Structure 1
Amino acid sequence: MIATILRQAPGDPRARIAAWRQISDILAQRGNQLSDGDIRRALHALAVLRPQVPEKIRRDCAAAIARHGRFAPLVAFYANDVPAVSAAMLRRARLAEADWLALLPATAATARSILAGRDDLPDNVRRALESLGAGSVALPQPAAASAASEAPADESPVAADSAPSQISELVRRIDRFQSARAQPAVRKARTGFMFEAGPDGLIRWVDGITRGAAIGLSIAESAFGGEPGADGAAAGAFRQRAEIVNARMILEGAAADAGEWRFSAVPWFDSATGQFRGYRGSARRPQPSEMPYGRPAVEESGDSIRQLIHELRSPLNAISGFAQIISGQMFGPVSASYRAMAEAIVADAAAIQAIIEDLDTATRAPGPSTPSLAGETADLGTVIAQVEMDLGAILADQRVDLSISRVGGPFLAQVGDANSRRMIGRLLTALVDISEPGSVLVGQLVTESAQDDMLQLRVVRPLAIRFATAADLLDPGFSPEGEAPGAAILSLGFSLRLVDSLARGAGGRLDIGHNALTLHLPSANPSTELGVQQGE
């Protein structure tokens, strides 16, 4: 695929932007699997395209791929872009320790300053940053500021939660929304901080919040669409070297730092030469009267996500409808090649529609205290048989066998048929996607005893996730090495979180064990019929 993209010469701005995004995405996800020649050609193509791609596009792309930015050459390439692009990548990229150590000497001072603000780097990497000396960062940090900016032991690290597409960005927002709804805040948000910005407008020192939340942001450019940064009032004042009063700033990061701020700042000049040196200022949380309609943003986040999902559905339905018209030759004869293309579009649209439905379900998923609808039952034995039939083509294509035995019975669960099919189908599909060719995915459907009010579907972990932690497996962006090329767009981590959320809404749960994943669903079997019998 990378060779096909490199052979095409993008002639217009849209094509250049599309090529930039595609090459970056492929390198981020598959860079370690490409040949050295393809990697060199891809990085050369990005270097040629960089002056022709707007900075905002490059910054957005860096933020989107940073979470999966485990390919060191691509991280190094983005790290040596302008500060805003470099910061978007380096605040979130995750590399092995050896990759960080190899990358540091090739980074500029501003990039190392951004890395110095992270608190999740390995000790050897942090020591390497320190060994480069005070001159390696854009502005030396005062000792008091360094001490104040260190997060407490129970502080959440800076969020690293973007994903390599708009769909995966929705996953991040949904996860944040669900976490905020399910768990009350245990830490009080910070109420103020001080900062300094250089003559280029980049914030280079902060005191009062975690450094990574603000360092590298610009007060000289406007941030749009809820992106981190300052508003147009600050950018206009900066151009005039005027005082900034109660401008708006958005920060991302830990819960105590993230959100909306109001800041004021004054320019300062060198006393000897009169040269402009930047801005010094302070920020505070906005008053309720300064917020639109006086409502906190978290209350609207679920509605905004659902609105965005609705806006995704409309063009998708239109595309699918036109493709069906072409494939059905409703307006006249169509060549075989165009019909085949239209049929492929219809199939792809159906797959994307299923993904959108999963995203919609994630935003609406009930909490564990929500009771299931009375009277709904499903035979899990029949559901599993249906799912096995549905997965026939995928199993054949990936050369994986699926073996789900039955122990005990009957297998009636207190959950709707459609809901149980979605849970079990999503779980098994995700595990098949990461199974090695030629392997067997083994599981059991179990009814254990008269005292057990849960049915259990146990599936042995595939080799690719044999040693993964529960935290990794429930991370919405987690995709293990060795994942099949046709694996689900929404990643294994999102799939497992969705299954767990749906199960808890029905009164069950998904357990991540050392050897197996176990889906628990409430039993609807009459207590007198529960017994241990050997099934199939």
Structure 2
Amino acid sequence: MQFDDRLATVLRSRADSDAVLRTKYRQLLDLLGTSKEEGDSELRAQAYARLNELAEALPQEEQARILREPGLRLRNPALVAFLARGEAKPGASAMATARLTDEEWLELIPKLPVTARGFLRHRRDLSPAIKALLARLGVGDLVLPEPEGDAAARSLRQSSGWQSASPPISTPISTPASTPISAPASPPARTSPAPSASKLTNPLTSEEAGIGALLKRIEAFRETRRSQPNDPRLPMGEDQHVQPLQTIEFSCDTDGMAVWADENIAPMIVGMQLTSSRTSTLITMDLDTKAAFAARQPVYAARITVNAAPEISGQWHLDAAPLFDPATGSFIGYRGCLRHAVEIVAAEEESEADAMRQVLHELRTPVNAIQGFAEIIQQQLFGQVPHQYRAHAASIGVDSATLLAGFDEVDRLVQLEADTMELEPGTADLRAAVSETVQRLQAVLRPRHAGFSLNVSGGPFVTALSRSEALALCWRLLATAAGALAPGEEVDLVLTSDGSEIQLELAAPRSLTDGGMADPAESGRQRAVNAGMFGPAFAFRLAQAEAKSAGGYLNCKTNRVTLVVPALTVHDGEPSAGKGRIGE
């Protein structure tokens, strides 16, 4: 007997990145879309709730792209109805890619929203029965609501037997000038005998009421147009956006005072000592620039600061050339230009963490595709497959899962070292986490007559981490050490607490102290248990980053590994101050 626990496995997995969110959304769609509405109803309710949470976290465009992937299978009417009631873009994609039988469509279509039925009408692979049902429902879906006045007038006309093709007049009607108007020579078309004069009043009254309402709407429209001013609005009391100045041309006299400038700038510039060597409250420049002006030398790209009108205040670059009288050769002033100083902002370089995460994203995409096709072959979703190929596909699926787990560990390390991720907060008993991890490892180490000797002293051992984070940290350390234990080797494991700090001290196995961390690939093949695919050095580095994020540290010496995390105080529920953070 086989038990399908794939849905429970997906629900238990963590989603700590955008890529994982997309993967979980794709997995839930695939699992819910290929299964029938039977089995564990509580588990399915949790799956739909998680799918709704993922839909809120992912953009509509991303959901629609996933729903249109070729390998996705939407064969569950309940899931199709769930997606149709959601946002527009995912709903349209679900209607386009759903693969239901005619009986399922005929039962589901009346329950769909109007917009979903509109999306479904664009499909060309529907049977005549489904198209006929959509056409019948479309009579109500595609009709605009009729105004109340027109509906009432039409009902009155139909009740009196008059047609709209001819005027409802058969008796003389007096005009305001009391001039009689003869009846038409030919009687109006009727579908029933001519009504009496008393019955003719209802159609006239109804049409007059409809015309009166129309006249009122026209008059209201005219009043609205008359109330709107036709003259352009003057920008009084409104802030105006002024284009900042880029260049200002000027001329100065022998004293360095500006005597000419651009026409629109002259009132703000003329009179300022732009090229004077004397100190000014409006112009600030360095000593080299003042010395050049005193020696009547040309100045290029000198930085000056103007403190005057808001339009010209700020940092400027000054270019000025001395002027001399052609006849006498005497100095007559400067002519120059002010250029607005543009701050050159260096382009933000992509950090190493961002580059690594981009590489991981590029690696995950093909591995996810390989894993998906391997599962299709192994589960024979598209037809019978020889057992030999199924075995190869299962092996490929295991290798793909191992690679994805390794990518997740690298991504976790990158985020922790870049301070873009924090461990999940909570309360966990570190003594219970260590004891549980040791018991799990003893089952593997006992046949080799190896193990840990755990000694506990002090207390309490509660830390400000969630239970899952505490178990993951303990497993990373102890599983790495357990994989390095030689047959018959037993190492000491000491757990102590003084109320403010919790310390876990581990005697390093001999294979690690002898340089066993140098070749992670070789050591990983020889070990019965390990904490990851990248070897002990990477595992300890990741544990060090996790300990730092928790407010503690991990110290790896030659023959001893020490983990220190702050204990959670009993009184206020806050973690005690870290006394040994890395870098302090």
Q: Report TM bin, short chain.
A: 0.3 to 0.5
The TM-score, its normalising length taken from structure 2, stands at 0.34
